[in-house]
Structure 1
Amino acid sequence: MLKKLIMGAIALFFIFVGAMIILIGYTVYNPDSIFTAFNKVSQHFTRGEDYQEQEEYFLQGIKNINIKSNRMPIHVRTYNGSTLKVSLEGKAPRFEKGPYLSQLSDQSSINIVLNEPMSTHWIHLSVNGEEYTEESDAKLVAAVYLPEKYAATLNLHSETGDIEFVVDKNQIFEFELKSELGKIDNHAQMNPAAATSADQVAKIHIQTTSGNITVTN
């Protein structure tokens, strides 16, 4: 019995070795077929799905709004309303579900973190010195809607993501813009007469590491 098991194991070993030799030979002489198959499979796994997420926050008693992102772009708009609205839209990895908005608040502040999907965004293959990389099209963009009468502090921080703030010409804000490596472009026109006192002017602090900052109308 033991002899039969040993002979069976040896036979399976040679079958495995033979299959590997055939596979390696096929890979060497037919790399295009391997890349074609890899392309089809990788596109299936890296293709993102349409995604949307929305949250709304009441601002009564709030003195500070803090929004932090790593590489997700942030677009800020003002609107005629009383609540802070934040939405994420774009494509998310098909095998990773949200939410990507996390929030922690107290009586005087709202702290929002825009989380990135953690799934792998690329697949790499190398055959016979030839390399192929398939990148995911998953990408989310954050839209922030700030009440036009908000008069407290808004802090926006991003590492590599760009931040854009669109200002109405009839509004007035106090901006502080900082970036270590990113470009800062502030060409917005504002109306100083829109506020009768300093406590009616919202203080907007925007800071990035390498993301660009744009303030425009």
Structure 2
Amino acid sequence: MSKNKQTPDDRRQKWLEDLNEEFRYEIVLNESDRGAVLVASAFVEEALEHLLRQVFTVKSCNTSDDKFASQLNRLTKSGIDAPLGSFSSRITLAYVLGIIDVDYLTALEALRNLRNSYAHRKANGTRPKLSAEAVMDIRSNVIGPGIWDIRYVGLLPNDVDFDSTVATVGVFRISFALAIWILLRTIIDETNWWKHSANAQTPIRSVPKFSGPTFREGDN
């Protein structure tokens, strides 16, 4: 094997290192709603791939086989010729296996449908816009009761003003970004749990809901 060849773990580590900054600027601050939705979907789809790969690796009896890594790559690589090459197939398998519950299934399907609406131009040339309805199924299924504030979860650099950001990109972009951030964090945390805390006897479980603090308007 070439010394410079990246392993899946190398790729995942690089992706994690770049995620915060890329997320901030592409999803929170990017001028285009379309760009934000497409990038957000790509982030979540890749996170779901990492989670599935980790569960397969822990639960498989064949990891000592030299062919395991190549067959796992063949299964999960992007593209229509791979069984798990699409966002839809990854969502479906994660739900059928019990890795995600019905709330996350609803949120991920809503994100996939939103992505598709932006990816394919309508006959009249119009593009959808982020709205309360467009983000409702994503947000309501991953964020618990209470008013969450994007400032408290590190999605805005300290030198970027919150009010001017809302005025520039709109409240629905902020709501969308927060929902996607929580969705990503829970999937990433679950991937790390499978990597560091699970073994072949560990029962499959659904991704636990985000357990961080809930911030309400007026909190200090």
Q: TM-score, normalised by structure 2?
A: 0.24
Asked which structure has the greater CA Rg, the reply is 1
Q: When you count strand as a share of all residues, which structure comes out higher?
A: 1
Q: When you count helix as a share of all residues, which structure comes out higher?
A: 2
Q: TM-score, normalised by structure 1?
A: 0.25
Larger relative contact order (CA 8 Å, sep ≥ 6): 2
